[in-house]
Chain A
Amino acid sequence: MDTVDLSITALLIAFALFIIPVAISWFYRIGLTRSLLYATARMTVQLIMIGIFLKYLFRWDNALLNILWLTVMVLVAVVSAVRQSSMKLSRMLHPAFISFSLATFLIILFFNIFVIRLDNVFNARYLIVLGGMLLGNSLRGNIIGISSFYSNIKRDRKTYRYRLALGATFSESIRPYLRDSVQLALKPTIAAMATMGIVALPGMMTGVILGGASPEVAIKYQIMIMIAIVVSTILSVVLTILLTLKSCFSRYGTLRDDIFAEK
């Protein structure tokens, strides 16, 4: 079964549904119309552009170009994660970029080589689409993990220092905070896994089924992508924290003051 293509007219009919939120917003004076229209316009333009871009990327399917594009995606993900984590970009950019790249590339290559067994492991269809799913889904966990680690140590400054004063090594003194923030970062993903298929049909599965594959193939891909998301989230959170320690703590083991973005 092939997917039914949507004509431009069909899409315009979909946009007609916006009468509902606009009417509600107007009636109750929620003041949502402007931001809703702005976000919709952005989404539409961005998706049209990425659609054209991906079309050529898939057509050329050049390994180097694919890697380059995934790197750009990682960079955008890192910048957006750091911005939202209230940490200073200059302190976090390098280490977070390294850890996101490692976590993303390693996991995708593992799946492409050992699980999907592709002939060309840099195949655009798999590299970029899987990469996008991984980055999109591990981003939230990373933001939660990184910002809770540093803001908890800042908030608990005295307790943290007390632990140092007890004679803890640096790694002993940060360990409880590392544990808490990784737990917190993984919580949404683990909760989503536990209810998967019952509460909601995940996006990947919907896409694969609409794309014409059978539900059996779709669930196999969904299981694979969930494993990939969990592993890459935990890997990138832990790596990012470990790699930023050096620039965020003094050699006395105390947290630097100038690592948080000014509000």
Chain B
Amino acid sequence: MIEFRGIDLSYNGRKLFRDFDLSLGRSEKVAVLGKSGTGKSTLFNLLLGFVRPDGGEVRFGGDTVDDKTVWDIRRSIAYVDQDVSIGEGRGSDLIRSALELKVNASRKLPGEKMDGLLDYFELSPAKLEDDITDLSGGERQRLAIILAVLLGREIFLLDEVTSALDKDLKKKTAQFFAGKDSWTVMVISHDPVWVDNPGVSVFDLEREEWIQ
């Protein structure tokens, strides 16, 4: 499903990857570990076409990521970034504008599904009417997770999305994603809730090997 083949990449004169390989099958759940600066987020940026490798190739669903395929690839991935830079304005407007994009036009307006998600992630519906920049880090993370799920996609790239959540919510979030059989989930996180989850494989980026 997702494959990094012989990736070489330098950033600001530092070698981040040298002949790096990693692959994920459909419906696998993988947690990527590694100190900061080891290029964890870069893996997602490579897959989404925001960063191009100096050598090697990134493949998604059988296609090489290039300037033609990347647009469709982005449309099949739900991505939540580390700083939850999801913009300004009210949360409800953000959700509406995301669902108004052409690619999502076929999706129904969130009704029951949205209520269920707000309930599960313990986010009060009133918070959707607040400005995103006024929300706490944890609230913003949950909003971004809910929006990602609402897109109805099956492949998730989650970059440190549980860092600001409390213990219970971390656990619920990990269980939520690990429990969906058909979903392919790649998560960057230090949280033990992911690593300790039996359904999740763990890849150590520094040693470049699977440790679970």
Q: Write the residues of chain A forming the contact surface with B, with a CB cutoff of 8 angstroms.
A: 156, 158-159, 161-169, 172, 250-254
Contact = CB atoms under 8 A, between A and B. Distances in A.
B87 interface: yes
A172 B70 contact: no
Contact of A164 (B74, B85, B102, B151): B74
A160 to B, nearest CB: 9
| Dominant secondary structure at the A interface | loop
Contact of B49 (A162, A163, A172, A252): A252
B50 A252 contact: yes
Given A164-B48, A165-B74, 12 more contacts: A161-B85, A162-B79, A162-B81, A165-B48, A165-B79, A166-B98, A167-B74, A169-B102, A172-B101, A250-B67, A252-B49, A254-B50
Nearest to A252: B49
Contact of A161 (B48, B67, B75, B104): B48
Given A161-B48, A252-B70, A167 B101 contact: yes
Contacts of B71: 169, 253
Contacts of A254: 49-50
B83 interface: yes
Interface in B11-52: 48-50, 52
Chain B residues touching A, range: 20 to 34
B188 interface: no
Contacts of B85: 156, 158-159, 161-162
Nearest to B47: A165
- 8 closest A-B pairs (Cβ-Cβ)? A158-B85, A251-B67, A167-B75, A167-B103, A165-B79, A252-B49, A159-B85, A159-B87
B102 A172 contact: yes
B83 A158 contact: yes
A142 B57 CA distance: 41
A237 to B, nearest CB: 23
Nearest to A166: B98
A120 to B, nearest CB: 49
Contacts of A169: 71, 101-103
Contacts of B145: none
B74 A162 contact: no
A159 B50 contact: no
Nearest to A169: B102
Most chain B CB within 10 A, of A158, A159, A167, A168, is at A167
